[in-house]
Amino acid sequence: MSSLLNSAQQKAVAELLRVSPVADELGGRFSAAGHELHLVGGSVRDALLGTLGDDLDFCTDARPEQTLAAVSGWADAIWETGRDFGTIGIQKDGLRIEITTYRAEAYDGVTRNPVVSYGTSLHEDLSRRDFTINAMAVSVPGHAFVDPFGGLADLASRTIRTPSTPEISFGDDPLRMLRAARFAAKLQFNVEESVISAMRDMAADLDRITAERIRDEFTKLMSGADPIAGLRLLVDTGLADRFLPEISGLKLEIDEHAQHKDVYEHTLIVVQNAIRLESGEGPDFVLRMAALMHDIGKPATKAVGRDGRVSFHHHEVVGARLTKQRMRALKYPKDVISEVVGLVALHLRFYGYGRGEWTDSAVRRYVADAGPLLSRLHKLTRSDVTTRNRRKAAQLAADYDALEERIARIAAEEDLAKVRPDLDGNAIMELLGVPPGPIVGQAWRYLKELRLDRGPLDRDEAEAELFKWARDQGHIS
C-alpha cells in the first residue's frame, strides 16, 4: 500500500502544483484567519487520476460569512447562490472554486431535499460523502493527504464503494444510487456487490428525488465514457423502472428480424454504435438519447403475422410520442426534447431507399424534414444496423452511402439546407393583392411543397403556379 500511496501522491502533487499558486495562497488566507482548508472530493479523485480540471472543490471549518471575509478583496469574482447550503463560489486566475463549510447532511426520509447542518470536522464531512473515491482530501497549503475510508485503494482497484454502509449512504440521499451508475459509466469502474444489492432493495426510494436532479444525473451518465455499463446497472437494479421504464420494457420484445434475443440488447448496441460515430467534439447527448429511445414504441406496436414474423408498424411514431412524454416528465429543455423526438420520428425513413423507390423529391423531403438534425440522423440510421448477417449489413451501408452521395449531388445543384418557396411572402401579397394573413401562409406552404416535388422553379413558372393555386382555391377569379 505504501508504494501505491507514494505513486498516487506523486500524481496528485504534480496536478496540484499546477493550481497550487492559487490553492496555496487561498489556504494561507484561511490559515491566517484560524481556519482549515482542504481540496476535497472529486477534485482529489481527479488529481489522483491525473485529470484535474479548472473547477476546484474545497471544504473548510469556516462558516460562509467567514469564507466571504477570507476571499473578499482577493477573488476576481464572488457569487453566493449556494450560501444557504454553506457554499461560496469564487473565481481566481481562471480557476472556478467552490468553498463549502463542513457538513453533516441527511434526508428526513420523506422530503426531496437535504436538511443541511454544519459539521465540526473534516472526518465528519468526508464520512457523509457518496463514495470512498470522493471521500479523500488534501490540505492547503500543507498538502497533507487524508483518506480515512480507503478511497485510494478503491481508486486503484477501480471499485465504487460507500464510506458507511450503502443503506445509510443511500438513505441520506437516494440520488446516490443513480450516481453509482453514473460513476460506473464515467470512470468505467465496477460497483461493489453490496452497493448493487442496496440499489436493488432501495430503488423505490428514488421516488423521493425531484425530476430535475434525476435528469441532471442521468444526463451525466449518458455522457460518460461507457454509458452502457451504467444503463445495465439501472435496468438490473430496477432503478430505471422508477424514471425510465420504457427501457426495461424493451426486454420483453424480440426484434423483427429475430437477430437479437430482445430489443433491449439491440438498443444498447445502437447506443454503442452512435458513440463510435460521434464527431470527436465531446459526447453528443442528443444523439445518444435518440439511440436509446429510438425503439421504445415497439412494445405498443408489436404484431405477429400468420407466418409468425414479428412486426412493429409505425413504432417510430409511437416512440416519438412516448419520448416526448418521458423527457417532459424529466423536465428536459424544450429544444433538447424537440431534437431527440425528431430523430426518433425519422429514424426509419431511410428504409426502402435501397429498393429504388426514392425520387429526387423524396430526397429533398428527407433533407428538409431532418433540417439541422441531418448529420445526427445519418449517424443514428447507420447505428441502427445491427444485423449479424454481414451481406445484409454491407448492403444497407452501401445503400446509405448512395443516399448521402445523392444528397450531396442534389445539394450541389440546389440549396437543400434552406429549401424555400421560389416566391417569398412579400411577392405572394403583391401578386395576389392580398394583405398579410392566412392566405399568404397557405400559398407559401403550397409553393414549398411544389419546390420539394419539382426542385427550383424560375420566376415565370412560380408565378403561374401561384395564380393557378389561387384560382383553384377561389382567392382570385
Which amino acid type is present at position 18? R
SS3 (DSSP) at 137: strand
Please give the model's pTM, rounded to 2 decimal places: 0.81
Could you give the maximum distance between any two Cα atoms of the chain, in Å?
Answer: 94
d(CA 152, CA 146): 10
* Strand pairing category for 159-160 and 190-191: parallel
DSSP structural state of residue 385: -
pLDDT in tens, 405-426: 888 877 766 655 555 666 777 8
Predicted confidence pLDDT, tens digits, the chain (477 residues): 344 445 665 666 556 656 778 999 999 999 999 999 999 999 999 888 878 888 999 999 999 999 999 999 999 999 999 898 899 999 999 999 999 999 875 555 555 555 667 888 999 999 989 999 999 999 988 888 899 999 999 998 999 999 999 999 999 899 999 999 999 999 999 999 999 999 999 999 999 999 999 999 999 999 999 999 999 999 999 999 999 999 999 986 565 555 545 889 999 999 999 999 998 778 999 999 999 999 999 988 887 777 767 778 789 899 999 999 999 999 999 999 999 999 999 998 887 665 666 777 778 878 888 888 998 999 999 999 887 778 877 877 888 888 888 888 777 666 555 556 667 778 878 777 888 888 888 887 777 777 777 777 778 777 787 788 888 787 776
Angle at the Cα of 171 from the Cα atoms of 166 and 172, rounded to 5 degrees: 105
Contact 280, 228 (CB under 8 A): no
d(CA 320, CA 337): 10
Terminal-to-terminal C-alpha distance of the chain? 93
pLDDT in tens, 220-232: 999 999 999 999 9
